Amino acid sequence: MRRVIVSEWMTLDGVVQAPMSAGEDASGGFRHGGWHAPFGEAVFQAWVVASVGAAGGYLLGRRTYDIFAAHWPNASPQEQMLAEPLNTRPKYVASTTLSEPLAWRNSTLLCGDVADSVAALKREDGGDLLVIGSTRLVQTLMAHDLVDEFRLIIDPVVVGGGKRLFADDGALRSLRLTDSTVTSTGAIIATYVPARG
């Protein structure tokens, strides 16, 4: 059985919106896009390459799919350690606005109920499924108890508002820390699993 692993870059106040660049996602008037840039360093970069490279496939929401499909097929030679797995391995896309065939190689649209589709993928043989970004998709998966592991990169910065991974929904979710590393920039790479039962 495959696991669903969520990978997110997060501020200390829990925001996951637009970590990479100012133009990534300015919705809701978000003004702090690119907040992650000062915290990238060698330990973090090696961790990202290992995490992306170990996945058997990827689960993506529509916005993340659009950003990735525009970038990774044309990635620079320096980015090939990430581009190769992202371009060649299966990608499963949750969207109500896209239609098949999807332009990015090895991409499949999830049909019907997203939770049911992901539960069916988990029952298949194969490598783990990595969710990158895709906040709304992750929230749906959490609501249906389909996430097996959270890999969070928590940067020492507060942005005061924006899209959060964990919604203000009143739900109590206990997690257990299984691994952690502090980088030279003060970012924390933390792995959690749901504390089920």
Q: What contacts 136, CB < 8 A, 6 or more positions away?
A: 61
Three-class SS of residue 52? helix
pLDDT of residue 103: 95
pLDDT of residue 169: 81
Closest CA to 52 of 24, 77, 85, 78: 85
pLDDT of residue 190: 97
pLDDT of residue 172: 86
For 77-89, write each residue's pLDDT tens digit: 999 999 999 999 9
Ramachandran sector of residue 124 (left: φ over 0; alpha: ψ -120 to 50; beta: rest) = beta
Q: Which CATH superfamily is domain 4-194 in?
A: Dihydrofolate Reductase, subunit A (3.40.430.10)
Enclosing H/E stretch for 178 = strand 175-182
pLDDT of residue 197: 61
Three-class SS of residue 83? helix
pLDDT of residue 82: 96
Integer CA distances (angstroms), 122 to 49, 116, 197, in order: 23, 10, 20
Beta partners for 94?
A: 61
pLDDT of residue 110: 96
pLDDT of residue 196: 75
For 137-161, write each residue's pLDDT tens digit: 999 999 999 999 999 999 999 999 9
Ordered by start, the domain boundaries in the chain are 4-194
Query: What does the block give as tokens for 41?
Result: 């360093």
Measured in degrees and rounded to the nearest 5, phi and psi for residue 191 equal: -110, 125
Q: Extract the residue ranges of the chain whose pLDDT is less than 50.
A: none
